[in-house]
Structure 1
Amino acid sequence: MHPRKRQRRRSSVAAPLEPEPVLPPDVLLEIVARSDAATLVRCAASCKPLRREILRPAFIRRVCHEPEGVVPPRLLGFLRLGHDHRDKVHGPGPPVGFSLAHPATPAAESFSQKHLAPLLSRNAAVAKLLNRGGDRPLTSRNGLVLLYGGFYSAPSGRRPPSFPHMCVYDPMAGNLATFCGAPGIYPSCTPCTFVLLTAADGIGCSFLVVVVDFTGLMDASGSIKIQTMSADDAAAGGTWAPSTSVRHPRAQQGSSSTLHGRSRLAVVVLGGFVHWLMHELKRNSPPPYGMHILTYHVGTATVGTIELPTATDGLPISESKGRDLHLASSPDGRLSLVVMDRQPLTISIWLLSGSDGWARHAVIDAEANLRSLLDQPLSRRGLHDTDNNRVCFASSSWGKSDAVLLKRSPVGPDVDEERRLIVLDVETEEMWTNTTKWSAFPYEVDLESRLSAMKTF
């Protein structure tokens, strides 16, 4: 070979590249901790060592609970799913959307606007299904939504060709599980509740739907009927488990019970126990009727009751006039009773702590703040009784957020298209309004639990 050609080939060999500098792990974690929630999740998916450091409990507590944390522990907002049944004009429905209600922090605003809302609007397949107009939300828990309505297309020969269906929808992941509704249960005409349990409740699958029929409480049997549908059963063909009946503990005392007001939606699930606020209808007894909390444990299929706390006047809190009651749960997982007194308008938070019983956690003077929020003066009869400024609890439970949802419900034939909802932060006692459509539905995401549940490799 010619010497020049050999020399040219030798010179054409590229010199080895110098390795690029690598940031130390502690520096990477500092960058992640100062970014945002979406970036944190992307970094956790980039490599195994960084993922292990991000998913450490100490780091999750830091980014969720420190004052400069970039991940809000929980988000409470409102989902708009497809058509509103009050809409007069039909056609292509609006995209699935989300509006933040609580907390009012920069981290929550950033995550809801830059990540959650665009994620929902991009999910065209689910939006098309929900925009059919027949689906309506029944309940929501731990980031999942249970919907009912429309028609279920069952395999030939197994069920009628048209059957009411139910859906469990995960807006964050875009997953939708569809199955037939519980046989003989129709929400519009049956006194029932639909309870949604998730993997965080220790059920061994992604969701469990529990339908509870309270028809038997009004007759001699004094029992409730329960049917369940698990995620595994829904994937295997959508067959409901056989119904079971459980007798109310107080049925033997010659009394019947019924759900209190909006309790068919305000269902609280804690540690596998389902809680309802009940009116006790004693025979041959004048009102006011007593109230109690009915419990049902999903794992053992047993029922029980919990007495309500005693008010400062010495009477059971349910027997005092001029009060609204609502069940909820505290951020630390305790049963909470929210009490609204009308004159003057105050909101009390009671917490149940095991053997210690009920204790009043906070008393909030809400009337002054509400006066400044509402655009009409209050009457002498009190805010709750004012015709055009009737304020009461929102119809659905608000999960574990440290907030109380109130609603202003205009009455009369001229009802606005939008309803003004009022958010009360229990910790700061601040109030603000949230204007949303009629079809919007309370939706809560526990971001701290979702981060903690991510797998390490």
Structure 2
Amino acid sequence: MEPRPEKRTRTEPEAEAEPKQLLPDDLVLEIVARCPTIAGVIRCAAASKPVRRGILHASFLRRLRGFLNRSGGEHGGQAPLSVRKLLLGLYHQSGDPRGQPAFVPVPDGASLPPSVAALPPASARDGAAGGSACEFGPYLPVASRRSLLVLRRRCRNRATDHLVGRHGLHPVELSVCNPSTGERRVLPPHDVLDMSHSLLDVDPIAPSSFKLLVAELSDGDPSTLYVQIFSSEEGDWGPPLACPITISRGDREDSCEFACAARRPRPVVLGDTVHWLCTTDSGDRILTWRWRGGAAQKASIVKLPRGYKFGRPEKCLAVLPSPAGDAAGSQAALLSLIVLDRGEIEVWAREKSGAGSARKWKLWHRVQEASIPRPTDFCNGWLSGAELSWFCKGSGTLFLQAGDETVSPLLLDLESMEVSKLEARKWELNPEPEFCPYEVDLLSYMLFVMKRF
């Protein structure tokens, strides 16, 4: 046996160079939590590995968010801090049943691994249900919010005993993942047909906490909204709800269907209410459902603004901050409508004209194509014929699909009104352009960044 090498003793200069933590860990983390900016927290994490481990702990990150909300954080005001979101890019269906969705980063965006976290191994029940395994199609990204991404794939195994035993009413599998932390959760079967997906109550700090809503407007019962919510804390779906759709006078709406140029609706979440663009017998409307509180047993219809462009212009829902704010100085988020028609963009918001008054639509902006700063390689008329695809609430960015399939998807920043484009052609994303933007909040992104050092 070879003799063990003697342990090398550190020289006096080396011992002096290694930093010593003189304060207890709890006191150090309390000081870090009072940093006025997220960047300050990251600088503190670079001081030593013990401090970094404490900062990356989920309990500290939640305490940090609470401190920022109470103090106003980077803004230095009395209003709670809305932690900023970063638009990193988009995920799109790759077409390969064995592959993950492909990722396309935004220009000059923050770096992110090009694929989502690896799937967990198939469970034993996949082969035990009916004696046959699932034959899944490719993943389809269907929703995202605050660092979480919802993926959907369909089982192609048509054996009746397998479908009933493994998937229940619908042969699909839903999973929720956090690409910045590597988490992935495969959800159990659900009862409501998942025509639309919305993430609710999202806390992306590992382990991620969320609620996922699936919604259905059935052809057989077009006057009822069917919904079901999965809770990560309970680990299961709640009971399916049948919510009658009513109009302003309390009458029942005869017919309602999701209005979407793409294959899947693009709902927006504002507080405890989910909003969809829809089509009724009276024309285009907004379908709303309040998922928390006593109003969860019914859905209602909101009319579009009277002065907006009639016909069938491109439009999508958005959530934008109020420019004025309330009496306390905080900025209230408002339901907004973005309309695109013949090279002109209109931005409408549903706001109150005074205390206690009902919300009414107001035209905020009317923007001509010529007034939008654009790259030099954009030709005149680039906005004409474009399609509105997604609104990214966290970053205030609007995704546009150009009318020409050889042109890259466009990104319009609604705050600066500057446009840029992705380094991918429309036909490269997917023959059925199904993609989903991916945003992270800074706290979740901090987890990803600090794992590198």
Please classify the TM superposition score into its range, dividing by the shorter chain length: 0.5 to 0.7
SS at match of 2:187: strand
Match of 1:45 in 2: 52
Match of 1:225 in 2: 226
Q: Is contact 2:413–2:419 with CA below 8 Å preserved after alignment?
A: yes
Identify the structure with the greater helix proportion: 1
SS at match of 1:420: coil
Cα distance in 1 for partners of 2:140, 2:332 equals 28
Match of 2:317 in 1: 327
How far off is 1:421 after superposition? 1.7
For these two proteins, the number of residue pairs brought into alignment is: 375
How far off is 1:157 after superposition? 10
Q: Is contact 1:349–1:360 with CA below 8 Å preserved after alignment?
A: yes
Q: CA distance change for structure 1 residues 84 and 31 in 2, over 3 Å: closer, same or farther?
A: same
Q: Is contact 1:308–1:317 with CA below 8 Å preserved after alignment?
A: no
Match of 1:438 in 2: 429
Cα distance in 1 for partners of 2:239, 2:38 equals 51
SS at match of 2:422: strand
How far off is 1:403 after superposition? 2.2
Q: Cα RMSD between the aligned structures?
A: 5.0
Cα distance in 2 for partners of 1:365, 1:127 equals 52
Encode CA deviations 1:40-75: one digit per residue, 9 max, x unaligned: 656663558x97997642899666899xxxx98211
Equivalent residue in structure 2 for 1:84, among 83, 86, 94: 94
Match of 1:167 in 2: 175
Q: CA distance change for structure 1 residues 348 and 173 in 2, over 3 Å: closer, same or farther?
A: same
Encode CA deviations 1:145-181: one digit per residue, 9 max, x unaligned: 111114499xx99962575211011111111111244
Match of 1:176 in 2: 184
Q: Which stretches in structure 1 are left out of the alignment for 5+ residues? A: 1-13, 283-288, 311-315, 385-389, 453-457
Cα distance in 1 for partners of 2:75, 2:233 equals 32
Cα distance in 1 for partners of 2:436, 2:339 equals 22
Match of 1:7 in 2: none
1:147 matched to 2:151? The reply is yes
How far off is 1:327 after superposition? 0.7
Q: Tell which structure's C-alpha radius of gyration is larger.
A: 1
Q: Which stretches in structure 2 are left out of the alignment for 5+ residues? A: 1-10, 23-27, 124-135, 322-330, 448-453
Q: Is contact 1:139–1:265 with CA below 8 Å preserved after alignment?
A: no
Equivalent residue in structure 2 for 1:57, among 65, 68, 72: 68
Q: CA distance change for structure 1 residues 174 and 184 in 2, over 3 Å: closer, same or farther?
A: same
Q: Is contact 2:140–2:152 with CA below 8 Å preserved after alignment?
A: yes
Q: Is contact 1:334–1:352 with CA below 8 Å preserved after alignment?
A: no
Cα distance in 1 for partners of 2:350, 2:446 equals 27
Give the TM-score taking structure 2 as reference length. Answer: 0.64
Q: Is contact 1:322–1:341 with CA below 8 Å preserved after alignment?
A: no
Match of 1:3 in 2: none
How far off is 1:433 after superposition? 1.4
Match of 2:127 in 1: none
Within a 5 Å distance, the mapping from 1:18-37 to structure 2 comes to none
SS at match of 1:291: strand
Within a 5 Å distance, the mapping from 1:418-437 to structure 2 comes to 420-436=408-424, 437=428
Encode CA deviations 1:310-354: one digit per residue, 9 max, x unaligned: 4xxxxx145624633211112556233233342452332425358
1:405 matched to 2:399? The reply is yes
SS at match of 1:45: helix
How far off is 1:407 after superposition? 1.6
SS at match of 1:428: coil
How far off is 1:247 after superposition? 0.6
Within a 5 Å distance, the mapping from 1:13-412 to structure 2 comes to 45-46=52-53, 56-57=67-68, 73-80=84-91, 84-85=94-95, 93=99, 97=103, 99-100=105-106, 109=109, 112-113=110-111, 117-118=112-113, 123-124=117-118, 134-151=138-155, 160-161=165-166, 163-183=171-191, 185=193, 192-200=195-203, 206-215=209-218, 219=222, 222-234=223-235, 240-250=237-247, 252=251, 255-262=254-261, 264-282=264-282, 289-300=283-294, 301-305=296-300, 307-308=302-303, 310=305, 316-317=306-307, 320-321=310-311, 323-331=313-321, 334-343=333-342, 345-353=344-352, 355=357, 357=359, 358-369=361-372, 375-378=378-381, 383-384=383-384, 390-394=385-389, 396-410=390-404
Q: CA distance change for structure 1 residues 126 and 329 in 2, over 3 Å: closer, same or farther?
A: farther
Cα distance in 1 for partners of 2:243, 2:103 equals 40
SS at match of 1:361: strand
Give the TM-score taking structure 1 as reference length. Answer: 0.64
SS at match of 2:399: strand
How far off is 1:267 after superposition? 0.7
SS at match of 1:134: coil
Q: Is contact 1:227–1:242 with CA below 8 Å preserved after alignment?
A: yes
More divergent stretch after superposition (433-442 vs 361-370): 361-370
Q: CA distance change for structure 1 residues 168 and 254 in 2, over 3 Å: closer, same or farther?
A: closer
Q: Is contact 1:206–1:231 with CA below 8 Å preserved after alignment?
A: yes
Q: Is contact 1:293–1:308 with CA below 8 Å preserved after alignment?
A: no
